[in-house]
């Protein structure tokens, strides 16, 4: 008898009813008949929004075939209460005149040769801004409108500091594109940039992560990101003819800032690469999805999360964490800042200098003032009451005793 398992999982911020089964064309065609069903590449299963009505519809539809339905994962779990329908103004309402202006603004950004990612981001901010000002003419827009937009929309949505800074950049670009408005871009203030130290893995944790990654393709992707310090987009865009095995180099084309660079290809990665290439035989890209198309970043994040869970790593790990770890470990091994900057593709050395704050090699050689004080007491000729507190054994100042 065919077996279908129903599960509950979160996808794109919403709870979903998952439908899992071993591939069978009859089951596949029957599940596809459900009106709201979608396929998740990240979770490798069909799904519909989780609510009590969909539970009944899916169960009834599958039972028509008298298949075995395993719904034990749903027992005792309540479907989330649907949120109230958002008010109509959550959909952008922009005047035709302002819509035309937004389209011209997008063309202007592309004329500046900004990346498509930046163009999409700036477009979203400006479209939201025009939705906020309503029917107000673009020529009447001022810094006051920007301030109110930030106070009433951005603050309430709790945008991150980096997103807030991007928003101001988008409006500054708009004021340059459309000087007929009274927005003074020079007077707009960005919030101070946050100064967070990036999360990094130890070398042992990296090895445990790769060991816990069972799928050969997944392990090859994670190993390449870490061994070469690549961004997620760079590994997904990497084409096979840019891998120079003989010279032990990778050519990263058109990376962030429209720059090319050469990075190292680890000697220890080559056997894994050969095994992966012989098994999957990619045609164009280093890693390919269905039909030879580019692999998705969502899939990489999904299997990375699963590997971390199997490896028992509690830190919040993203593909960029592996890049941070690559840079930090190079610095701890004595590689110069300038070389690391080139390998990472940073335009400014200030960006690379953050790794000087998290490299641990030199920190481990610094003696705590408590250790110095304790050793001073323990080495003194006259006994002290402090010796009874700290004990007679000399404190090891240079090597932690874990």
Q: Which one is catalytic: 30, 47, 218, 346?
A: 346
- Alpha-carbon distance values, 98 to 1, 128, 141, 173, 174 (Å): 60, 12, 12, 16, 12
Which one of 1.10.287, 3.40.1170, 3.30.1460, 3.40.50 gives the CATH number of domain 3-74? 3.40.1170
CA distance 371 to 259: 48
pLDDT of residue 79: 47
Q: Which one is catalytic: 2, 61, 131, 231?
A: 231
Helix (H), strand (E) at residue 270: helix 270-280
Cβ–Cβ < 8 Å for 337, 331: yes
Q: For the chain, give every residue range classified as CATH 1.10.150.130.
A: 89-187
E-strand stretches of 195-294: 243-244, 249-255, 259-264
**Does domain 89-187 sit in CATH 1.10.150.130?**
yes
pLDDT of residue 287: 92
CA distance 270 to 268: 6
Residue 360: strand, helix, or coil:
coil
For Cα atoms 299, 10, 90, give the angle at the middle one, nearest 5 degrees.
100
With tokens 């090859």, the residue in question is 220
Cβ–Cβ < 8 Å for 298, 319: no
357 is catalytic: no
Question: Which two structure tokens, joined as six digits, stand for 258?
Answer: 């429209």
Phi/psi for 194 (5° steps) reads -65, 145
Question: Which two structure tokens, joined as six digits, stand for 69?
Answer: 């339905």
CA distance 239 to 15: 36
Question: Which two structure tokens, joined as six digits, stand for 202?
Answer: 């130890």
Share of the chain above pLDDT 90, in %: 28
pLDDT of residue 382: 56
Query: What is the per-residue pLDDT across 319-376, written as a single tens digit (0 to 9) for each?
Result: 989 988 888 888 888 777 788 778 887 767 766 666 665 555 555 566 667 667 667 7
Pairing of strands 3-11, 68-70: parallel
CA distance 11 to 80: 14
Q: For the chain, give every residue range classified as CATH 3.40.1170.
A: 3-74
Lowest-pLDDT choice from 40-44, 77-81, 186-190, 358-362: 77-81
108 has pLDDT over 70: yes
Question: Which two structure tokens, joined as six digits, stand for 102?
Answer: 């937004």
6 has pLDDT over 70: yes
Residue of 263, 246, 400, 376 whose CA lies nearest to 327: 263
Q: How crowded is the C-beta side of 356, counted as CA atoms within 13 Å?
A: 9
pLDDT of residue 401: 42
The pTM of the whole model exceeds 0.85: no
User: Which one is predicted more confidently, 312 or 364?
Assistant: 312
Q: What letter would DSSP give residue 165?
A: H
355 is catalytic: yes
CA distance 363 to 354: 15
User: Which one is predicted more confidently, 381 or 40?
Assistant: 40
User: Which one is predicted more confidently, 379 or 136?
Assistant: 136
120 is catalytic: no
Q: Which one is catalytic: 172, 323, 324, 329?
A: 323
Q: Which one is catalytic: 164, 165, 253, 320?
A: 320
**Contacts of residue 219, Cβ cutoff 8 Å, sequence gap at least 6:** 210, 213, 272, 276
Mean pLDDT of the chain: 81
For Cα atoms 218, 220, 223, give the angle at the middle one, nearest 5 degrees.
110
Share of the chain above pLDDT 70, in %: 82
pLDDT of residue 107: 93
Question: Which two structure tokens, joined as six digits, stand for 228?
Answer: 């070469």
CATH class of residue range 203-356: mainly alpha
Cβ–Cβ < 8 Å for 253, 260: yes
For residue 362, the tally of other CB atoms under 10 A from its CB is 10
Query: What is the per-residue pLDDT across 66-99, written as a single tens digit (0 to 9) for each?
Result: 788 887 777 655 545 444 333 444 578 899 999 9
pLDDT of residue 87: 43
Cβ–Cβ < 8 Å for 251, 242: yes
Question: Which two structure tokens, joined as six digits, stand for 376?
Answer: 């001073």
45 is catalytic: no
Query: What is the per-residue pLDDT across 231-288, written as a single tens digit (0 to 9) for each?
Result: 888 999 999 999 999 888 888 887 776 778 888 888 899 999 999 999 999 999 999 8
Q: Give me the mean pLDDT over the 162-190 stretch.
A: 90
Alpha-carbon dihedral sign for residues 138, 142, 146, 149: negative
With tokens 């050469």, the residue in question is 262
Q: Which one is catalytic: 61, 165, 256, 301?
A: 256
């Amino acid at each position: 008898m065919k077996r279908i398992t129903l599960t509950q999982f979160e996808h794109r911020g919403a709870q979903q009813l998952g439908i899992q089964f071993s591939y069978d064309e009859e089951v596949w065609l029957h599940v596809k008949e459900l009106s709201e069903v979608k396929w998740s590449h990240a979770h490798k299963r069909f799904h519909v929004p989780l609510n009590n009505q969909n539970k009944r519809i899916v169960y009834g539809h599958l039972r028509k075939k008298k298949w075995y339905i395993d719904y034990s994962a749903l027992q005792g779990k309540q479907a989330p209460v649907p949120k109230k329908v958002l008010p109509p103004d959550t959909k952008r309402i922009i005047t035709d005149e302002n819509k035309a202006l937004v389209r011209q603004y997008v063309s202007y950004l592309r004329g500046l040769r900004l990346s498509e990612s930046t163009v999409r981001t700036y477009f979203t901010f400006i479209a939201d801004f025009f939705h906020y000002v309503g029917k107000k003419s673009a020529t009447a827009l001022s810094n006051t409108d920007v301030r109110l937009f930030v106070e009433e929309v951005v603050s309430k949505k709790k945008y991150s500091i980096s997103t807030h800074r991007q928003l101001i950049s988008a409006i500054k670009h708009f004021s340059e594109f459309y000087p007929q408005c009274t927005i003074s871009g020079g007077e707009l203030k960005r919030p101070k940039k946050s100064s967070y130290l990036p999360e990094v893995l130890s070398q042992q944790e990296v090895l445990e992560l790769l060991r816990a990654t069972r799928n050969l393709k997944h392990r090859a992707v994670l190993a390449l990101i870490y061994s070469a310090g690549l961004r997620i987009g760079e590994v997904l865009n990497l084409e096979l003819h840019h891998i120079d095995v003989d010279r032990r180099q990778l050519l990263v084309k058109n990376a962030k800032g429209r720059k090319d660079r050469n990075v190292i290809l680890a000697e220890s990665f080559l056997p894994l690469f050969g095994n992966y290439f012989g098994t999957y035989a990619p045609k164009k890209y280093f890693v390919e999805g269905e039909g030879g198309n580019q692999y998705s970043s969502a899939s990489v994040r999904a299997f990375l999360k699963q590997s971390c869970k199997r490896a028992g790593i509690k830190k919040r790990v993203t593909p960029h964490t592996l890049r941070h770890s690559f840079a930090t470990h190079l610095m701890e091994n004595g590689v110069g800042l300038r070389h690391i900057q080139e390998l990472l593709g940073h335009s400014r050395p200030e960006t690379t200098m953050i790794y000087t704050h998290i490299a641990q090699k030199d920190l481990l050689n610094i003696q705590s003032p408590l250790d110095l004080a304790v050793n001073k007491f323990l080495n003194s000729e006259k006994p002290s009451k402090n010796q009874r507190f700290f004990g007679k054994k000399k404190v090891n100042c240079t090597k932690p005793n874990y």
